[in-house]
């Protein structure tokens, strides 16, 4: 999808350095919902909590479980393999905030969610 002329994404698209990838329609990620998506070759998990969209690499730091196949409850992403819980807003593991998910920059433009990956 071509970015809107005059936007930052358009400038990056025009000079060939674009890293932003459109991954979902904004309406497909309402409050309290989690979704998996592809950002180029990278599998990502997105969640919306308290109105804000957050994105992370879809790879649990424990043993590589696909977080997008787990659950999303009370602002926490729950891994399907061994139930580690990560805060949607920070990606931090609930039991030890020093451990966390790899966060990816997100923006919403033209009704779509974009990830810098």
Residues 6+ apart with CB under 8 A from 15: none
Least CB distance to ligand FES at residue 6 (A)? 42
Among 38, 63, 94, 105, binds ligand FES (CB under 6 A): 63
Among 54, 65, 86, 101, binds ligand FES (CB under 6 A): 65
SS3 content of the chain, % helix, strand, coil (to 5): 10, 45, 45
Q: Which is nearer to ligand FES, 82 or 102 (CB)?
A: 82
- How many residues lie near ligand FES (CB under 6 A)? 9
Binding to ligand FES by residue 78, rule CB under 6 A?
no
Binding to ligand FES by residue 73, rule CB under 6 A?
no
Binding to ligand FES by residue 2, rule CB under 6 A?
no
Q: Which is nearer to ligand FES, 3 or 65 (CB)?
A: 65
Measured between alpha carbons, how far is 79 from 30 in angstroms, rounded to an integer?
20
Would you tell me how many other CB atoms lie within 10 Å of the CB of residue 38? 13
- Strand, helix or coil at 24? strand
Which tokens go with 59?
Answer: 């790879």
| Sites of contact with ligand FES (CB under 6 A) | 60, 62-65, 79, 81-82, 84
């Amino acid at each position: 999808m071509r970015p809107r002329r005059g936007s930052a994404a358009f400038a990056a698209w025009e000079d060939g350095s674009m890293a932003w990838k459109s991954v979902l329609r904004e309406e497909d990620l309402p409050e309290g919902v989690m979704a998996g998506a592809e950002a180029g070759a990278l599998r990502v998990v997105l969640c919306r909590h308290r109105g804000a969209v957050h994105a992370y690499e879809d790879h649990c730091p424990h043993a590589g479980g696909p977080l997008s196949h787990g659950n999303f409850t009370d602002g926490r992403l729950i891994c399907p393999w061994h139930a580690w819980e990560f805060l949607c807003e920070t990606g931090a593991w609930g039991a030890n905030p020093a451990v966390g998910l790899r966060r990816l920059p997100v923006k919403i433009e033209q009704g779509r969610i974009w990830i810098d990956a």
